[in-house]
Chain A
Amino acid sequence: MKRILTGGLAALAVFALPALADTAAEPSQSWTPTTFHLDNGMQVVVIPDHRAPVVTHMVWYKVGAVDEAPGKSGIAHLFEHVMFQQTDTLAPGEFDSIVSRNGGQSNAFTSWDYTAYFERVAKEQLGTMMELEADRMVNLVIDDDPEGAFISERDVVKEERRQRIDNNPGVILQEQVLSELWKGHPYEITVIGNMDEVAALTPEDGLNFYHEYYSPENAILVVAGDVSEDEVRTLAEATYGQIVPTGTAHGQRKWRDVPLLTEDDLIVHADPKVRQPVWSRYYNGVSQIRTPHEAYALEVGLEVLGGGMTSRLYQSLVEQQQLAISVSSYAWSDLHDPGPAVISASPAPGVSMDELETAVMAEVELALEEGFTQAEVVRARNKLAATAIYSRDSQSTMANVFGSTLAIGGTIEDVLSYPDEVRAITPDEAIAAVRKIFGPDRHFIEAQLLPSEEGN
């Protein structure tokens, strides 16, 4: 079986899926997520799913790359790695051993907006997992030995950066483009950090970061699976509930408006490894958390425009004119602050970047002028809403959707109401949202990924 590497810059925020949720077609009422707070301020979310005797246990910290100090890029992500090292009670590597010996799987991930840790285990092991996570929330030991675990983990992260980004010309280009699009905003540096800054991070940086952000009042516990709210409450109070808040988690984030681009820009990356060129335009987009209705309208509109094989762009560019191998439009709207709205295409053999751009933008202009039909919009919004039902099949997906939404300031109700909100988008709203993003007063960054001379 052949598999294709699809890693990318966005993979760091790999679980930041669009918020998805339940819909009206509901044969059973057993699925009702609930939330409460422990006395120390830690929020708890319980998502019952009784199909298998398994639970997904997650701790979300409201800290991410957005919170890093100048010159310390990559500390949130490197620190995520360091959290698996030593505590007062656990030797290096013991955390992993205990989880594995209990038949569990664990991992963690970092985004601009949050850092999350999870274990998937048989339900009997839930208490043990809570003990482990609670322990490292307060008892982490960071060795200042220059040859110690912090340093070797820093080397691992440098390899991770090479593997995810530096090996991949398309991801190198995307990193450059996002840095330009978010210039002046804390998102401008990639989550994994600049290589030079990562290489200079110290154990002391790690400890400072830990003391500032890791505390129960800055964390959200999400448990999905074969449990009840009462079971979770009892276990959580006995573990996390015993932790005294540090008082240092100030809760201030550097989130702010993303300034609109003030001029068009072109970024070209040519690489000997590139065999197939890619053309993209990045526009200022929107954020679901800041302007939900506008974000949903844009999602529906971009689904009609370039969301799949039935979309306007695909049918025109790939099927009819045969100028492109692929074409798509999508909005990156699940960060706290607005991410880009992107139109992207890859040329058919013999088609130049200019020809491709002209043809793609002509089709976009045509759509903006004509507007969308009722049938197109109904299909797009049903498709988005139905994805919510399918996502219910995966316990981890559900835990991720609720955890990420809450970590950036949303609510359970935001997740639950998503399908109805999307279904309420009218054709007028969908086209208006698309017209605003791609309007004549808006600027963009054009990105071209090209083969380099010596590579072809």
Chain B
Amino acid sequence: MRLMTFAAGLFAATSLSACASLNPPPAEPETIVEVEVVEEPAPLEVAVHSGDFAEIQQFTTPGGASVWLVSEPSIPILSLNMAWKGGEASDPEGLEGLTDAVTYHMNEGAGDLDSLGFQTRMEDLNMSFGCSASNNWTSCSASMLTDNADDAMALIATAFEDPRFDEGPFERFRREQQVGLKTRETSAGYLAWKAQSQALYPDHPYARTKTDESIAALTPELAKEQMRKLMVKDRLLVTAVGAVTPEELAPMIDEVIADLPETSTLPETPDIVLPELEPADPIVVDLPQPQSLVQFTGPGLKRDDPDFFPAFVLNYSYGGGGFESRLMKVLRIEKGLTYGIYTSLSPGEHIQTWSGGGQTKNESAGEFIQGIKNEMEDLVEHGVTEEELADAKAYLTGSYPLGFDSNAKIASQMMGVRQDELGIDYFDLRNDKVRAVTLEDVNRVAKEYLNPEDYLFVAVGQPEGISVEEFESEDPAEMESESED
């Protein structure tokens, strides 16, 4: 394969769709369609937004769920996403892994069905349903055939009403977690993330990780309590795409959420201010393998920062544009030092970073890191050219429709817009925001954000050609850092 997409390690690349806007106000619905609903006294009020990429039907179910739906009749599938703000960062200290325990068990038995019964029922219905969590969000998604959507949604409803958290699956969860703790000891991506988070925000909940002790302290009761805190009605967002109408979908969703608590209080996540870095050598984590994983992290921007879009466009030219980026052109195409290198913006609510990474043979690690810094310096000093800016805008605007060619993609794009509160007209406005970026904006942002001395570099492997910063790993003796020059 010519270029592996960047799913490796902790390469959490920002998707093109997930970029920010300048806090647009929610758009006025363009039309209001009122439809009579059988058995319901009040008709469902559906606001229809006919956007450039999708016709979004926005409504609140009688049970109180706020839903964005795209009706797509051409394939007999329904994709459903649910998300609640609040995730792994809300795990109490010493109980790291609690939220993961919740999401693990959501399809492990409910009501009369034990784990095997639940899984068998899902197979009988040819459906999928599962949940997951990130630092800030707890999410569930389901795919089902519209033919038996009623039965599929009824099964999902039991998972929210009466989840079992049986001892058997819970023990299996613990065993799997223990194996995960062991295998991460030699995962280059994990080791890089660990070194970086310890250096930049060691005391923040985002830096905490699961441990043998925290996993041992988890119980089904604690997980059940946490589930009732995470999955509540007033923080629920729903998006769906498929061969259904709002009138068909609303009662199914109401059945699913009927038993959720109205609300809950979760601990606040503090904001992270990245520390001023001392002039420092890269942190090196020793790992016996032929290649070094290099990651670098510096300050980024919030989504509502007026400079976010200039930074987003600049990122394409620096390291975000596949073969068109400066880093790829120099480090892969000219020098053949790497199979791939990327940069991305992470405009999180509590931490904003600009980061990147790639892998190179141990022998060329020093040259690789120097190359990354050189390109930063060149951008600070000279900025990008008019042609680069035009190319970036052409790609970023022209490729945007590619994110809307499947039901699952549209459902997930809508959820991204909802989670970041970008407004229902975001899809329509986004390309104009990209087009409005000027060369002056971009080059000012480069000067402000791409100074090599603001970036923390981590190399995992057995890199050569760099002097190193000592890094004390939590892991066994052979993982200790070593100095080479």
Give me the interface of A with B, judged by CB distance under 8 Å: 1-3, 5-7, 11-12, 14, 25-28, 30-31, 49-54, 80-81, 84, 92-93, 96-97, 100-105, 107-110, 120-122, 125, 151-160, 162-164, 166-167, 225, 272-276, 308-310, 315, 318-319, 322, 325, 346, 348-349, 379, 382-383, 386, 389-390, 392-395, 454-455
- For A2, the closest partner residue in chain B by CB is B10
- Distance in angstroms between the alpha carbons of A383 and B119 in the assembled complex: 12
- State the Cβ distance, A387 to closest chain B Cβ, in Å: 9
Residue pair B339, A159 in contact (C-beta under 8 Å): yes
- Choose among A101, A125, A158, A164 the residue with the greatest number of B CB atoms under 10 Å from its CB: A101
- For A154, the closest partner residue in chain B by CB is B336
Residue pair A153, B401 in contact (C-beta under 8 Å): no
Residue pair A52, B404 in contact (C-beta under 8 Å): yes
- For A385, the closest partner residue in chain B by CB is B126
A selection of 10 A-B contacts at a CB cut-off of 8 Å is A25-B145, A101-B398, A103-B395, A122-B398, A163-B291, A275-B182, A349-B178, A389-B145, A390-B77, A392-B75
- For A192, the closest partner residue in chain B by CB is B1
Within 8 A of A (CB), among B178-200: 178-179, 182-183, 185-189
A residues in contact with B441, CB < 8 Å: none
Partner of A52, one of B135, B359, B399, B405: B405
- Say yes or no for B74: interface residue by CB 8 A criterion: yes
A residues in contact with B143, CB < 8 Å: 390
A residues in contact with B72, CB < 8 Å: 51
- Say yes or no for B7: interface residue by CB 8 A criterion: yes
Residue pair A103, B399 in contact (C-beta under 8 Å): yes
- State the Cβ distance, B152 to closest chain A Cβ, in Å: 12
- Distance in angstroms between the alpha carbons of A153 and B333 in the assembled complex: 7
Residue pair A103, B394 in contact (C-beta under 8 Å): yes
- Say yes or no for B176: interface residue by CB 8 A criterion: yes
Partner of B478, one of A5, A30, A158, A272: A272
B residues in contact with A53, CB < 8 Å: 401
Beyond the given pairs A109-B2, A319-B116, 16 more chain A to chain B contacts, judged by CB atoms under 8 angstroms and listed by A's residue number, are A7-B8, A27-B73, A51-B407, A92-B333, A96-B323, A102-B394, A121-B402, A122-B398, A156-B336, A273-B186, A273-B287, A273-B289, A276-B183, A319-B172, A322-B172, A325-B175
Within 8 A of A (CB), among B65-117: 72-77, 79, 115-116
Which size class do B's interface residues fall under? 35 or more
Given the contacts A3-B10, A276-B183, A310-B116, A152 and B336 also touching, CB distance less than 8 Å: yes
Partner of A349, one of B7, B119, B175, B339: B175
Given the contacts A101-B395, A319-B116, A93 and B361 also touching, CB distance less than 8 Å: no
10 smallest A-B Cβ distances: which pairs?
Answer: A103-B398, A155-B336, A386-B126, A152-B336, A52-B405, A273-B186, A275-B182, A96-B323, A160-B339, A109-B1
A residues in contact with B178, CB < 8 Å: 349
- Distance in angstroms between the alpha carbons of A155 and B337 in the assembled complex: 7
A residues in contact with B183, CB < 8 Å: 275-276
- Distance in angstroms between the alpha carbons of A134 and B273 in the assembled complex: 52
Within 8 A of A (CB), among B1-54: 1-4, 7-12, 53
Partner of B323, one of A93, A151, A318, A390: A93
- Distance in angstroms between the alpha carbons of A249 and B188 in the assembled complex: 44
- Say yes or no for B120: interface residue by CB 8 A criterion: yes
A residues in contact with B73, CB < 8 Å: 27-28
Residue pair B478, A107 in contact (C-beta under 8 Å): no
- Distance in angstroms between the alpha carbons of A319 and B332 in the assembled complex: 47
- Distance in angstroms between the alpha carbons of A409 and B126 in the assembled complex: 31
Residue pair A325, B478 in contact (C-beta under 8 Å): no
Given the contacts A93-B329, A349-B178, A393 and B75 also touching, CB distance less than 8 Å: yes
- For B126, the closest partner residue in chain A by CB is A386
Give 1 or 0 for each of B398-425: 1 = CB within 8 Å of chain A CB: 1111101111100000000000000000
- State the Cβ distance, A93 to closest chain B Cβ, in Å: 7
A residues in contact with B332, CB < 8 Å: 156
Residue pair A379, B179 in contact (C-beta under 8 Å): no
Residue pair B126, A383 in contact (C-beta under 8 Å): yes
Partner of B1, one of A5, A110, A273, A315: A110
Residue pair B360, A159 in contact (C-beta under 8 Å): yes
- Say yes or no for B62: interface residue by CB 8 A criterion: no
Residue pair A52, B401 in contact (C-beta under 8 Å): yes
Given the contacts A14-B1, A389-B75, A3 and B147 also touching, CB distance less than 8 Å: no
- Distance in angstroms between the alpha carbons of A170 and B77 in the assembled complex: 36
- Distance in angstroms between the alpha carbons of A109 and B2 in the assembled complex: 6
Partner of B175, one of A28, A52, A348: A348
Residue pair A153, B179 in contact (C-beta under 8 Å): no
- Say yes or no for B279: interface residue by CB 8 A criterion: no
Given the contacts A100-B322, A275-B185, A454-B478, A107 and B172 also touching, CB distance less than 8 Å: no
Residue pair B9, A393 in contact (C-beta under 8 Å): no
B residues in contact with A84, CB < 8 Å: 2, 323
Given the contacts A11-B1, A152-B336, A454-B478, A389 and B77 also touching, CB distance less than 8 Å: yes
Residue pair B478, A455 in contact (C-beta under 8 Å): yes
B residues in contact with A54, CB < 8 Å: 401-402, 404-405
Residue pair B360, A152 in contact (C-beta under 8 Å): no
- Say yes or no for B338: interface residue by CB 8 A criterion: yes
A residues in contact with B291, CB < 8 Å: 159, 162-163, 166-167
- Say yes or no for B261: interface residue by CB 8 A criterion: no
- Say yes or no for B370: interface residue by CB 8 A criterion: no
Residue pair A3, B75 in contact (C-beta under 8 Å): no
Give 1 or 0 for each of B117-155: 1 = CB within 8 Å of chain A CB: 001100110100000001100000001010100000000
Residue pair A107, B2 in contact (C-beta under 8 Å): yes
- For A54, the closest partner residue in chain B by CB is B405
Given the contacts A101-B391, A276-B183, A163 and B402 also touching, CB distance less than 8 Å: no
- Say yes or no for B168: interface residue by CB 8 A criterion: yes
- Say yes or no for B257: interface residue by CB 8 A criterion: no
A residues in contact with B188, CB < 8 Å: 167
- For B72, the closest partner residue in chain A by CB is A51
- For A80, the closest partner residue in chain B by CB is B2
- Choose among A12, A50, A273 the residue with the greatest number of B CB atoms under 10 Å from its CB: A273
- Say yes or no for B307: interface residue by CB 8 A criterion: no
- State the Cβ distance, B173 to closest chain A Cβ, in Å: 11
- Distance in angstroms between the alpha carbons of A158 and B290 in the assembled complex: 11
- For B291, the closest partner residue in chain A by CB is A162
Residue pair B321, A100 in contact (C-beta under 8 Å): yes
- Distance in angstroms between the alpha carbons of A280 and B359 in the assembled complex: 30
- Say yes or no for B334: interface residue by CB 8 A criterion: yes
A residues in contact with B400, CB < 8 Å: 103
- State the Cβ distance, B166 to closest chain A Cβ, in Å: 11
- Distance in angstroms between the alpha carbons of A393 and B322 in the assembled complex: 25
Residue pair A122, B401 in contact (C-beta under 8 Å): yes
Residue pair A28, B74 in contact (C-beta under 8 Å): yes
- Distance in angstroms between the alpha carbons of A396 and B69 in the assembled complex: 24
- Distance in angstroms between the alpha carbons of A386 and B123 in the assembled complex: 10
B residues in contact with A96, CB < 8 Å: 322-324
A residues in contact with B186, CB < 8 Å: 272-275, 455
- State the Cβ distance, A392 to closest chain B Cβ, in Å: 5
B residues in contact with A125, CB < 8 Å: 398
B residues in contact with A6, CB < 8 Å: 7
- Say yes or no for B397: interface residue by CB 8 A criterion: yes
- Say yes or no for B288: interface residue by CB 8 A criterion: yes
A residues in contact with B288, CB < 8 Å: 272-273, 455
- Say yes or no for B294: interface residue by CB 8 A criterion: no
Give 1 or 0 for each of B323-367: 1 = CB within 8 Å of chain A CB: 110000100111111110000000000000000000111000000
